[in-house]
A and B are shown apart, each in its own frame.
Chain A
Amino acid sequence: MKFVVRRLLIAVGQVLLVTLLAYLLFYVISAATGASPAQRVAGHAATPAQIARVAHLLGTDKPFYVQYVNFLGHIIHGNFGYSFLQRRPVTQIILPAAYVSMSLIAVSVVLWILMAVPIGLIAALHPRTFTDRFLTICAQVAIATPVFWLAPILSYLLAFEPNQGRFLGISLGTSVNVFPIEGWVSLTSNPWQWLHHLLLPGLALALGFTGFYARFVRALVLEQLDEDYVRTARSKGAGRPRILRAHIGRVVAPSIITLLGLDVGAAIGAVLFVELIFGLPGLGYVAVNSIQNLDYPVTVGVVTFTGLLTVGAMTLADLAVAALDPRIRRPTT
C-alpha cells in the first residue's frame, strides 16, 4: 500500500511537470510568433482596446503563475481551453481523436507483442544458430526502419489499388489490395471494419517495436536459461513449455510490462506519422494541424493530454509489476 501511495505521488509530480512544460511551450509559442492569444482571438482588424478586452476575458492579462494555476484548475475540471480556429472546446476536438489514437495503439501493442514474444523465444532457445542470426538481422532492420517511410511502403504494397499485383513493374500474380487504403471506422459502428482499417496502420507502427521487443525478450530469456532455478526445474522433470511459462515467464514478464508502460508513450509520437499517412483523425493529426495553424490551445491540449496518458501508462505498468513481483513492494533504497 505504501508503495502504491509513493508511486502515485511520483505520478502527480510528473503530471505537474508535464503540464508546466506544456504551458511554457504555449507561452514560448505566443512570444516567438509575436501574436498574443488575445490577438489571435480578436483577429487582425481589432483595435488595441478590443485586444485588451479579449485578453481580460481570456485571463491572459494576469501574471504567468496565476495563469498557470488557473490552467491547472481548468484541467482538473476537464477543461482544456477553447480552440481559436474551430471555435469549440478543445476537449470536443481531443476526445474523439484520442479514441482513434488509442485504438491504433491498442491494435499495435497486441500485434507487436504477438510477434515479438515468439520471435524472441525462438531466437533465445536456439542461440547462435542460423535461425537466431536471421531473426536478429530481421529485428535490426525493423528497428532501423523509420515509421514514416514504412507506412507508405506498406500502404503501397498492400492497400494501393491502381498498382494491384505489381511492385516495381514486377507482377506479383494476384491482387494485393488486401487492406483499405485509409480511413477510420468506429468500433461501436462495426467492430470488424474497425479492425480491418486499423490492421495495416497498426502493423506499420508495430514493426519497429517488434524489433526492439524481440531482441529484448531474447536477451532476457537467454540470461535466465543459465540460472540455477531453471536447472532445478529441469531436474525435477518439468518440460520446456512449463519451464518457459511458469518459471521464466514469471521472471521476465515484469521487465516487459515496465518497458510497455514506457513505450505506449513513445508510440504516441510515432502514431502521428501513421495517422497522417493513413488518414486517421487521431491525436497526431490534430497536433500537426494545430501547430501549422498556430491554434495554441489545441496544441497545448494535445501535448498535455498525451503527457497524462504517458504518465498514466507508466504508473499502471509499475503498479502491475508490483502486483506481480513482491520484491518491488518492499521499500528498498
Chain B
Amino acid sequence: MSISTGQNAALGDDVTVDPALGVSFRARFMRRLLADKATIVAAAFLIVLLLLATIGAPIAAALTGHGPNQQFFNGLNLNGIPLSPLSHEIGNNGQPDPHGAFFILGTDRLGRDMLVRLLYGARATLAVGIGATAVALFIGLMLGMIAGYFGGKLDAVISRGIETAMAFPSMLFAIGLAAVLGAGLINSIIVIALFSWYYPARIVRNAVLALRGEQFVEAARSIGLGHFTIMRRHLLPQLTAPLIVYATGVVALNILFEAGLSYLGLGVRPPTPDWGQMIADGVTSDLYRQQIWVALIPGLALVFTTLAFNQLGDGLRDAFAVRGSIR
C-alpha cells in the first residue's frame, strides 16, 4: 500500500519521470482527472442525478401535475397492464385519451407515473447508499487506525474480526437483521453499515501499519505528542486519498445492497418509492412478462448509477495514484 502525496513522490523512490512532476499535487491530480473522459462523464452523471433527486423530483411532479404516489385508475390498460413509455391515460372508450395525463416513462403496477417515482426513488437509493457508507467509513477508520497504529494483540483481535466479518454470509445476516429491526430508511443504513465497515477497516489498517514506522510519526512522538493527536493530525491526512477512492467504490456496493434489501421489502417503507422496490414491484408479480418496462426502467437507472460510482472510484484512484482495489 503506497500513499503518494506531493512531497513523497518528489522525494521518493519513483524512478519513472512523470511529465507533471514538479507541479503541485493538486495540479497533477486535476490534470490526470480531466484527461480521463469516462470519469468526467461519470461525475457529470452523478451530479445531474443528485440534482434530479433533490430539485428535479418536485419540479417533475409540478410539471406533470401528479406526485409519486398518485394512482391513475386509467393508468392501466383494459387488461390491467401498466402503460408503455410515452403513452396517454386510457380514455373511456379504451383508447389512449390525448387530453388525459401523459406518462413519459409509462406507469407502474398501480398506475403511478414511473418518471416521477424514479426521480423520487433516487432519493432513498442515494441517501441510504451514501449514508451507510459514511457510517461504515467512520467505524472502519476508527478500528483500522487502532489496529494499524497500536499493532500487537489489539491488531490481532481486530484483524481476525475483519476476516470473520468478511467470511459472513452478509446478505443472509442482513436480511435477518433487517427483518428484526423492521423496514425503514435509518434501519437500512444501520444494517448496511454493519456489513460494509470491514472494507475501509482493512485498507486503513494496512495503510497505517505501513506509515507507523515512518520518521514523521517518530518525530511527532519524540516531541511528546499523544497517540490520539498523531492519529488525527499526522496520519489521517495521509489517508484521505485512499479513503475517498475506496468510499466511492463502497457507495456503489452499498447502493446495490440497499436495492437488494428493498427488493425483498426490507428497505424504505412503501409507498415511498425506491429503485429496488420498483424492480420488485415489476418482477415478483411476473408483471414484467407482460410489460418489460416496469422492470427495465428502474433496473437501468440502478445499473447506470452503480456504473458511474465505480467509474468515478477508478478514475479518482488513477488520479490520486493510489494502488489496489476494494477487493
How near does chain A come to B139, taking the closest CB pair, in angstroms? 16
Cross-chain contact A272 with B172 (CB below 8 angstroms): yes
**Chain A binding surface, main DSSP class:** helix
- Which of B169, B175, B263, B311 has a CB less than 8 Å from the CB of A265? B169
**Given contacts A13-B160, A311-B167, A152 and B173 within 8 Å (CB-CB):** no
Residues from chain A with a CB closer than 8 A to the CB of B260 are 146, 148, 273
Minimum C-beta distance from B160 to chain A (A): 7
* A13, A28, A144, A216 — most chain B CB neighbours (10 Å): A144
Whether A273 lies near B166 (C-beta < 8 A) is no
Q: Which residue of B lies closest to A137 (CB)?
A: B38
Does A287 make an interface contact (CB < 8 A)?
yes
* Interface pair B288/A152, CB less than 8 Å apart: yes
Binds A, one of B73-81, B142-150, B224-232, B289-297: B289-297
Select one of B171, B252, B303 contacting A270, CB under 8 A.
B171
Known A140-B310, A291-B176: A303·B171 in contact at CB below 8 Å: no
Given contacts A28-B180, A145-B303, contact A18 B164 (CB under 8 A): yes
How many Å from the CB of B178 to the closest CB on chain A?
A: 9
Contact of A144 among B276, B289, B306 (CB under 8 A): B306
A216–B324 CA distance with the chains assembled, in angstroms:
10
Cross-interface CB contact of B175 among A10, A18, A277, A287, cutoff 8 Å: A287
Q: Determine, out of A36-44, A88-96, A155-163, A228-236, the stretch whose residues face the partner at the interface.
A: A155-163
Tally of chain A residues near chain B (CB < 8 A):
55
Asked if B175 and A310 sit within 8 Å, CB to CB, the answer is no
In-complex Cβ contact of B169 among A148, A156, A167, A306 (8 A): A306
- Report yes or no: A152 in contact with B295, Cβ–Cβ below 8 A: yes
The answer, yes or no, to whether A299 is at the interface (CB within 8 Å) is yes
A269 at the interface (CB under 8 A from B): yes
Which residues, 282 to 326 on B, are CB-close (under 8 Å) to A?
282-283, 288-289, 292, 295-296, 299, 302-304, 306-307, 310-311, 325
Q: How many residues of B contact A (CB 8 A)?
A: 43
Residue of A33, A162, A219, A303 near B289 (CB, 8 A) is A162
Contact A156 B288 (CB under 8 A): yes
Which residues does chain B contribute within 8 Å of A309, judged by CB atoms?
A: 169
How far is the CB of A226 from the nearest CB of chain B, in Å?
12
CB-CB nearest in chain A for B170: A269
A307 to B310, CA, bound (A): 29
Given A32-B181, A140-B311, A259-B327, check contact A25 B173 (CB 8 Å): yes
In the assembled complex, which residues on chain B have CB atoms less than 8 Å from the CB atom of A284? 172
**Which residues from chain B contact A310 at a C-beta distance below 8 Å?**
167-169
In the complex, the 8 A-B pairs of residues with the closest C-beta atoms, listed nearest first: A269-B171, A144-B306, A149-B299, A144-B307, A306-B169, A152-B283, A291-B179, A32-B180
